[in-house]
Amino acid sequence: MISRKEFLKQTAYLAAGSALPFWLGENKSSSNNITILYTNDTHARLDPFPDNAVEFAGLGGIARRASLVRQIRREQKNVLLLDAGDVFQGTPWFDMYGGKVDLKLMTEMNYDAMAVGNHEFDRGPEGFAEAAQKAGFPILAANYHVQNTPMNPYVRRLLVKDFGGFRVGIFGLGIQLDGVVPRELHGDVRYRDPEAWARGMARSLREFHRCKYVICLSHLGYSYRDARIDDIKIAQRVEGIDLIIGGHTHTFLDNPVPVTNPAGKTTLISQMGHGGVRLGRIDLNLSERNSPFGTSSRFYTIGKEID
């Protein structure tokens, strides 16, 4: 059994020593896979839904999710663990600790990144910053201008993860603040056009950071009938994004929804409801050459065993 670190070192060495990068080689072992695990709108649901919950009684719970993630990490070498925002607000855990416990436990689980949801503003930029000190992973929102606010040290536009030479780019998008977050709670944080920023991020990740796969962590919402920007519209209008992991609308998408982007390629959209009832999973098989990579999807409903 080798550690993940050693594995990455070894694969980097192999990639450097061979004519082809490892992901184009013939080896079909799980080292040629990247497993993307994701949640959204967990809303302080650290314990499972109580027995008197109107919906989802007994489902979810961060400790069970952690155990499932640990099991998947044992089977898969390259794992990304992501969240699309609204970790804050929803149970007394938030009233008591303001999101600190959630972010601490997500750090223990080795989450790689999360997006900024509108509820992340529920205790203002100061409250966000206080909790974010517990986050050992970047919190992403490309279209929020956070300079000169307490959120500045914790919010980043993008993140690049390198799996033995195969680079995955991740960026975040936040929802409009007007009408969603009271002025006094978002303070000097400013919202900017998510479509323009998505375009800029996708281009930067592909061209400058040389990413082969681009993930958008979006808290815009899956789909609106009116003109409000949503994940579907981003997918239709912006090229260069392979996967949108969405949130905000608490939508349960059993299968990722494929949308043809302006480059004629497919952008997949997924969202896992809310409350940590589901853990989403998308596997990229890098040794398959069909466009863009062999992809498979599934989700886990995290529940308690019923006798």
CA dist 54 and 152 (Å) reads 38
Among 46, 155, 173, 238, binds other proteins (CB under 8 A): 46
Give the residue with the Cβ less far from other proteins, 14 or 105.
105
Q: Does 203 contact other proteins by CB under 8 A?
A: no
Helices (H), 204-262: 231-237
Q: Which residues pair with 284 in a beta bridge?
A: 34, 295
Give the residue with the Cβ less far from other proteins, 109 or 205.
109
Among 28, 210, 228, 304, binds other proteins (CB under 8 A): 304
Among 13, 16, 28, 63, binds other proteins (CB under 8 A): 63
CA-based nearest residue to 244, from 134, 121, 82, 102: 82
Which of the ranges 23-31, 105-113, 168-176, 191-199 carries the binding residues for other proteins, by CB under 8 A?
105-113
Q: What are phi and psi of 18, to 5 degrees?
A: -110, 160
Q: How many CB atoms lie within 10 A of CB 19?
A: 6
Among 36, 62, 79, 205, binds other proteins (CB under 8 A): 62
Q: How far is CA 229 from the centre of its chain?
A: 19
Which of the ranges 6-14, 49-57, 143-151, 161-169 carries the binding residues for other proteins, by CB under 8 A?
49-57
Among 21, 25, 104, 134, binds other proteins (CB under 8 A): 104
Smallest distance, other proteins to C-beta of residue 284, A: 10
* Binding-residue pattern over the window 254 to 273 for other proteins, x denoting contact by CB under 8 A: xxxxx-------x-x-----
CA dist 162 and 140 (Å) reads 17
* Binding-residue pattern over the window 120 to 139 for other proteins, x denoting contact by CB under 8 A: --x-----------------
Q: Which residues contact 240 (CB under 8 A, 6 or more apart)?
A: 199, 202, 203, 205, 206, 214, 261, 263
Q: How far is CA 137 from the centre of its chain?
A: 12
Q: Does 30 contact other proteins by CB under 8 A?
A: no
Give the binding-site size for other proteins (rule: CB under 8 A): 58
CA-based nearest residue to 82, from 288, 271, 287, 304: 271
CA-based nearest residue to 90, from 130, 132, 55, 65: 55
Smallest distance, other proteins to C-beta of residue 90, A: 5
How is residue 94 written in tokens? Answer: 């938030």
CA dist 25 and 113 (Å) reads 29
Give the residue with the Cβ less far from other proteins, 35 or 143.
35
Which residues lie near other proteins (CB under 8 A)?
A: 43, 46-47, 50-55, 61-64, 66-68, 70-71, 75, 89-93, 95-97, 101, 104-105, 108-109, 122, 179, 253-258, 266, 268, 279, 288, 290, 293-305
